[in-house]
Amino acid sequence: MEHKSGFVNIIGKPNVGKSTLVNALIGQDLSVVTPKAQTTRHRIKAILNHDDYQIVFSDTPGIMKPAYKLHERMLDAVEETFTDADLVLYVTELNDRTISDELASKLRGLNVPLFVLINKVDTGDQSAVEAAVQHWKDLLDPVCILPLSALHKFQLDVLLRYILDVLPVAPAYFDKDDEVSDRSVRFFVSEIIRGVILQQYQKEIPYSVEVTVEEYKESPEIDRIKVLIHCARETQKAILLGHRGSAIKKLGTESRKRIEAFIGKHAYIELTVKVADDWRDNDRLLKRFGYE
Ligand SMILES: Nc1nc2c(ncn2[C@@H]2O[C@H](COP(=O)(O)OP(=O)(O)OP(=O)(O)O)[C@@H](O)[C@H]2O)c(=O)[nH]1
Ligand SMILES: [Mg+2]
The range of the structural domain enclosing residue 202 comes to 185-288
Going from the C-alpha of 161 to that of each of 88, 136, 235, the distances in angstroms are 15, 21, 51
The CATH number given to whatever domain includes residue 122 is 3.40.50.300
Closest ligand relative to 11 C-alpha: 1
Nearest partner of 129 among 150, 149, 112, 99, judged by Cα:
149
255, 201 contact by CB (below 8 A)? no
Write phi, then psi, for 168 (nearest 5 degrees).
Answer: -75, 155
In angstroms, how far is CA 242 from the centroid of its own chain? 28
pTM over the 0.85 mark = yes
86, 167 contact by CB (below 8 A)? yes
Residues with CB under 6 A from ligand 1: 12, 14-20, 33-35, 37-40, 61-62, 119-120, 122-123, 149-152
Closest ligand relative to 31 C-alpha: 2
Question: What separation in Å is there between the alpha carbon of 219 and the centre of ligand 2?
Answer: 31
Question: What separation in Å is there between the alpha carbon of 207 and the centre of ligand 1?
Answer: 17
* Angstrom distance (rounded) from CA 252 to CA 71: 27
- Residues at Cβ < 5 Å from ligand 2 ion: 18-19, 39-40
First-to-last CA distance in the chain? 40
3-state SS assignment for residue 115? strand
Nearest CA residue ID for atom 30, ligand 1: 120
pLDDT, residue 292, reads 81
Which of 151, 191, 198, 207 most suits a substitution to test ligand 1, by most atoms within 8 Å of the C-beta?
A: 151
Residue 177 belongs to a domain: no
Question: What separation in Å is there between the alpha carbon of 150 and the centre of ligand 1?
Answer: 8
pLDDT, residue 289, reads 96
Q: Could you tell me the mean pLDDT of each successive run of 10 residues in the chain, 292 residues long?
A: 94 98 95 93 96 97 95 94 95 96 95 97 97 98 98 98 97 88 94 97 95 97 97 97 97 98 96 97 96 88
pLDDT, residue 178, reads 77
Residues 116, 226 within the same domain: no
Which ligand 1 atom lies nearest to the CA of residue 152?
Answer: 31
pLDDT, residue 177, reads 84
DSSP 238: H
DSSP 172: -
pLDDT, residue 1, reads 74
Residues 204, 257 within the same domain: yes
Count of domains forming the chain:
2
Residue 28 belongs to a domain: yes
Residue 173 belongs to a domain: no
* Angstrom distance (rounded) from CA 182 to CA 45: 6
* Angstrom distance (rounded) from CA 220 to CA 50: 30
